[in-house]
Amino acid sequence: MQVAIVILNWNGKTLLEQFLPSVVAHSPEANIYVADNASTDASVAFVQKEFPSVKVIRNTANGGYAKGYNDALREVKEDLFVLLNNDVEVTPNWLQPIIAAFQEDPKLVAAQPKILDYKNKTYFEYAGAAGGFIDKLGYPFCRGRIFDTLEKDEGQYNDTAPIFWATGACLFVKRDPFWEAGAFDEDLFAHQEEIDLCWRLQSLGGVIKYIGASALYHLGGATLSAANPQKTFYNFRNTLLILLKNKKGAKVYALLFIRLLLDGLSGIQFLLQGKFQHIWSIIRAHVSFYKLLPKYLQKRKKYATAYKYWHIPSVVWRYYIQKKRTFNNL
């Protein structure tokens, strides 16, 4: 199995200086690419000078995560893609357990390793932790991370387990299923595009797993921090779009109405916290959703599936009302 590590970069020279050395040192099994999203800093020159073995793919524009990877991956011919953020420190032998899992299970189409916090290495990191799920209302959560509560890594997720979505911070995905499922949805631009892709991969019969024998450290928030209102915009809008696109049945419209109401409650929470820009981000997210509604109704005809994906009825209820803060207590 030929393996390609593809690191998407946009004006991330400082991050490449810090994190690319570990990828080069600990990934002898793979060809390494930096897919540059039309950076205006010295990212490309740095890679070409300091790491001549790393291949550079130059995208003509910054199309975000989704288009950036779609454009770059058309030039990558290896069997297995490893889509890696540019703010990730990998560990020795991190690739072998996941490559072995793909070789052992022909139905495995996507996977992720254990994602730990680079700033606090004994804890799981927000983006992916030990594998992702969504509840009946479409809220994403992870083993090891429920909303803002991060678990300490005490070996409780050292297993291999099926999951609903694998994190885009380090997404292993087979080349052919990636293209057969339609690749990333470029209208999402960034955030939650991996959930959308994993939904479609499973609707085609694929299996997605978390492989706890592999681990890495993710800085997180290097492009858009959690405090950035633009991140709020993408998260709120893209959740609505993904549900409309992928969930089969007329009940999806009732679900979307509930989500719109719950978004309003989130707006009240932001108001109480004095985060007025985030309130405006939710309003913009809803306006953008309505503008994209005709386009996504067409996508729905192609992609909506009755796949059984729900893990629990409501992670919001169990977390905020029942005070269940860890995955194993849900």
| Pair (78, 192) in one structural domain | yes
Residue 155 lies in a domain: yes
In a shared domain, residues 208 and 299: no
Does residue 184 sit in helix, strand or coil? Answer: coil
Q: What element of type H or E holds 80?
A: strand 80-84
Tokens for 1? 């199995």
Beta-strand pair 120-124/132-134: unpaired
| Domain end residue (candidates: 191, 218, 245) | 218
Domain-terminating residue out of 218, 244, 279? 218
In the block, residue with structure tokens 């269940």:
324
Element (H, E) at 116: strand 108-117
Last residue of one domain, picked from the residues 160, 193, 218 = 218
* Residue count (the chain): 330
**What is the CATH classification number for the domain harbouring 186?**
3.90.550.10
Residues 153 and 144: beta-carbon distance below 8 Å:
yes
Local confidence band at 224 (pLDDT 50, 70, 90 cut-offs): low
CB atoms near residue 326 (< 10 Å): 16
Residues 54 and 165 in one domain: yes
Has residue 250 been placed in a domain?
Answer: yes
Average pLDDT over residues 121-131: 97
Range of the domain at 275: 229-304
How far is it, in rounded angstroms, from Cα 67 to Cα 86? 17
User: Contact, 34 vs 54, CB < 8 A?
Assistant: yes
* Both structure tokens of 22: 């570990």
Half-sphere exposure of 291 (CA within 13 A, CB side): 9
Counting residues of the chain whose pLDDT is more than 90, the rounded percentage is 94
Please tell me whether residues 47 and 129 are part of one structural domain.
yes
58 and 159 both lie in a single domain: yes
17 inside domain: yes
The C-alpha torsion from 7 through 9 and 12 to 15, rounded to 10°, is -10
Task: Answer yes or no: is pLDDT of 267 > 90.
Answer: yes
The pLDDT of 41-68, averaged and rounded, is: 96
**Residue (of 232, 201, 235, 214) closest to 309 by Cα position:** 201
Question: For residue range 192-215, what is the model confidence (pLDDT) as tens digits?
Answer: 999 999 999 999 999 999 999 999
Where is average pLDDT lowest: 46-55, 169-178, 301-310?
Answer: 301-310
Q: Would you place residue 259 in the very low, low, confident or very high pLDDT band (cuts 50, 70, 90)?
A: very high
Mean pLDDT of 103-124: 97
Same domain, 59 and 139: yes
Alpha helices by DSSP H, listed for the chain, are: 13-25, 43-50, 64-73, 96-104, 175-180, 193-203, 229-246, 251-272, 276-303, 315-316
Q: Does residue 309 register a pLDDT over 70? A: no
Query: Does one domain contain both 133 and 24?
Result: yes
Are both 170 and 261 inside the same structural domain? Answer: no
Q: CA angle, corner 314, sides to 309 and 317, nearest 5? A: 165
Over residues 274-289, the pLDDT tens digits come to 999 999 999 999 999 9
Q: What is the mean predicted confidence (pLDDT) over 25-31?
A: 97
The answer to the question of residue 328 being in a domain is no
Q: Verify that 243 and 198 share a domain, yes or no.
A: no
pTM (2 decimals)? Answer: 0.95
Residue 318 lies in a domain: no
Task: Tell me the pLDDT band of 190, cut-offs 50, 70 and 90.
Answer: confident
On average, the pLDDT of the chain sits at 95
pLDDT at 223 over 80: no
The letter for the amino acid at 292 is: L
Contacts of 230 (CB under 8 A, 6+ apart): 224, 281
How much is the pLDDT for 220? Answer: 87
Domain check: are 214 and 237 in the same one? no
| Same domain for 243 and 164 | no
pLDDT over 80 at 162, yes or no: yes
Domain-located, residue 315? no
Residue 108's pLDDT band (boundaries 50, 70, 90)? very high
With respect to residue 313, please indicate whether it lies within any of the assigned structural domains: no
Average pLDDT value for residue range 82-95: 98
The answer to whether residue 112 is domain-embedded is yes
Q: What is the pLDDT of residues 232-250, one digit of tens each?
A: 999 999 999 999 999 999 9
Q: Tell which residue, 224, 228, 217, 232, has the closest CA to residue 89.
A: 217
Question: Is the pLDDT confidence value at 225 over 90?
Answer: no
Q: How far apart are the C-alpha atoms of 242 and 225, rounded to whole Å?
A: 22
Question: How many structural domains comprise the chain?
Answer: 2
Using CA atoms, how far apart are residues 110 and 82, in angstroms rounded to an integer? 10
Q: How confident is the model at residue 221 (pLDDT cuts 50, 70, 90)?
A: confident
Q: Are residues 162 and 97 in the same domain?
A: yes
Confidence of residue 226 (pLDDT cuts 50, 70, 90): low
Q: DSSP for 199-248?
A: HHHHHTT-EEEEEEEEEEEE---SSS-TT-HHHHHHHHHHHHHHHHHHB-
